[in-house]
Chains A and B, each alone.
Chain A
């Protein structure tokens, strides 16, 4: 009897863990899915359910997707009201949010922003091309820097677009203006917030990458010194500089990135705010 009770208790706990785990997983998966869908949509891609399913099935995507509300604990402040930017701060979920998101979509039809975005993209791309032209081995670093710039540019276009809507509001019938202006102000405030957070996040990431690169550079120098100082056991002391590390391969992970990581100067694209 006692055993039966224990078994039942264990089964109950296991079931509860499974249910809670399942809910958590489902919520998380949903966040990732929404982020992927929104990002694709922002990039002009209409993906089927099957394709999105396929894209989100890899668990590693959770880590690689930086959703301010989910991944960055220190960004939690203000997120309750910040899940609805067109680019995908939508992690928090909920009915109010999805309604808000719909509003956002109608308010910010992509086509209206597209030209702005393409211009921003072209600027970023020019820098990216220059970076790649300069970088001999570490082209991956350029892509990483490009990604950061792209995210900032996304956020900037949203701010710029919203700022440009004041004129449209002025053209509205008088009775609608106040409400529209209030809505615009609210969205602009959130967009600026998002831009700030994106800039901070990208700057942090750049700084971390730079630090890693410096650390690695230091380690490489140390090992080179050690190689030079240590008596050669093969008798080839005359060749300390054997080219054993020919241009580390295209590692995006931050090695040799005095070029790629060194692009934090991008953060303040003039005219962003």
Chain B
């Protein structure tokens, strides 16, 4: 009787260890960059951020905003992304969105 209880306890312990191990493994997986997963407001898109970045360096962002090509929010985000060197993350998001379309 005691042996049976001890066996059950051991198995429970093993199961717990295994579960904890799995959980640990799951946690160890790199979490995606917040930019890739956060929900974007309606005036912000990954494509727009990239376009804004291009226009900031090579074009007339004022005209682009006036033409509705990019939004002020996208211009702001592009500036932030350039500053933080995160434009590639926006590109990754845009690539994903294109692939999903």
A binding-site residues for B, Cβ under 8 Å: 35-36, 38-40, 42-48, 50-51, 54-55, 58, 60-61, 63-67, 87-88, 121, 125, 128, 139-140, 143-144, 146-147, 150-151, 154, 205, 209, 250, 252-254
Known: A66-B59, A125-B83, A205-B60. A54 touches B98 (CB 8 A): yes
Contact of B98 among A50, A60, A146 (CB under 8 A): A50
B binding-site residues for A, Cβ under 8 Å: 47, 50-51, 53-69, 72, 75-76, 79, 82-83, 85, 87-88, 91, 94-95, 98-99
Do B61 and A64 touch across chains, with their CB atoms under 8 A apart? yes
- Assembly CA distance A205 to B58 (angstroms): 14
Chain B residues in 8 Å Cβ range of A48: 95
Do A40 and B54 touch across chains, with their CB atoms under 8 A apart? yes
Q: Closest CB-CB distance, B48 to chain A, in whole Å?
A: 10
Total CB contacts across the A-B interface at under 8 A:
131
- Assembly CA distance A257 to B75 (angstroms): 17
Contact of A51 among B53, B69, B94 (CB under 8 A): B94
Known: A55-B47, A63-B67. A43 touches B60 (CB 8 A): no
Can you list 22 contacts pairing A with B, beta carbon distance less than 8 Å? A39-B57, A39-B58, A40-B50, A40-B87, A43-B53, A43-B87, A46-B88, A50-B98, A51-B94, A58-B51, A60-B64, A60-B68, A61-B51, A64-B55, A64-B61, A143-B61, A143-B79, A151-B56, A151-B57, A205-B60, A205-B62, A253-B66
Chain B residues in 8 Å Cβ range of A139: 72, 76
Q: Which residue of B lies closest to A125 (CB)?
A: B83
Do B63 and A147 touch across chains, with their CB atoms under 8 A apart? no
Do B53 and A39 touch across chains, with their CB atoms under 8 A apart? yes
Do A121 and B50 touch across chains, with their CB atoms under 8 A apart? no
- Assembly CA distance A66 to B58 (angstroms): 7
Chain A residues in 8 Å Cβ range of B94: 51, 54
- Assembly CA distance A121 to B53 (angstroms): 13
Q: Which residue of B lies closest to A151 (CB)?
A: B57
Most B Cβ at <10 Å: residue of A60, A67, A209, A253: A60
- Assembly CA distance A178 to B72 (angstroms): 49
Chain B residues in 8 Å Cβ range of A60: 64, 67-69
- Assembly CA distance A51 to B85 (angstroms): 19
- Assembly CA distance A67 to B72 (angstroms): 22
Do A64 and B88 touch across chains, with their CB atoms under 8 A apart? no
Chain A residues in 8 Å Cβ range of B47: 54-55
Chain A residues in 8 Å Cβ range of B67: 60, 63-64
Q: Closest CB-CB distance, A143 to chain B, in whole Å?
A: 5
Chain A residues in 8 Å Cβ range of B53: 39-40, 43, 45
